[in-house]
Amino acid sequence: MVEELTNTTAIDRQIEKLGDESVETYNALKSAMDENARQALNQDDYDRRFGELNTKYEEQRSTLSELTEKRQGILARRERLNMFLDELRNQDSLLTEFDEPLFRATLDRFTVYSEENVAVLFRDGTEISVDVRGK
């Protein structure tokens, strides 16, 4: 179940495809620079072409960075889920009362927004808001 929730296959494909595309764009940039160095080109045309390729390359690199960061977040979530499951597996019996180590392994933090509104962030990244009025 953890593998299904934290599968990176699709994002890995995106990263690979975009990495290949960025290499192609980089090579086109290098080729344009080499061509400009070897022969006299219309500099306005060269500047426009270079600018377009450079913008495309920078966008690809930025998107690649975002995807890599997202992938790292998924892998971190996988690690937290596995740690939590390990903690559950190490329980001697069914829980019948409050278990502080399990509580600490499950929750990351509480955020109190007001007397009535509290947010609970679990270690798997899930966040819920709790209305605590009258409780």
What pLDDT is stored for residue 58 in this prediction?
97
Please tell me whether residues 18 and 77 are part of one structural domain.
yes
Please tell me whether residues 109 and 78 are part of one structural domain.
no
Please tell me whether residues 47 and 102 are part of one structural domain.
no
C-alpha distances in Å from residue 43, one per residue of 32, 55, 93, 95: 11, 18, 76, 74
Please tell me whether residues 69 and 31 are part of one structural domain.
yes
Number of alpha carbons in the 13 Å side-chain half-sphere of residue 128: 7
Please tell me whether residues 55 and 76 are part of one structural domain.
yes
What pLDDT is stored for residue 135 in this prediction?
52
What pLDDT is stored for residue 127 in this prediction?
84
Please tell me whether residues 65 and 128 are part of one structural domain.
no
User: Domain range for residue 128?
Assistant: 96-135
pLDDT < 70 positions in the chain: 1, 134-135
Please tell me whether residues 113 and 52 are part of one structural domain.
no
| Model confidence pLDDT, tens digit, residues 64-96 | 999 999 999 999 888 877 887 787 787 777 777
What pLDDT is stored for residue 103 in this prediction?
80
User: Domain tally for the chain?
Assistant: 2
Please tell me whether residues 85 and 102 are part of one structural domain.
no
Please tell me whether residues 126 and 112 are part of one structural domain.
yes
Give dist(CA 97, CA 126) in Å, integer.
23
Alpha carbon dihedral 61, 66, 67, 69, in 10-degree steps, equals: 120
Contact between 30 and 57 under an 8 Å Cβ cutoff? The reply is no
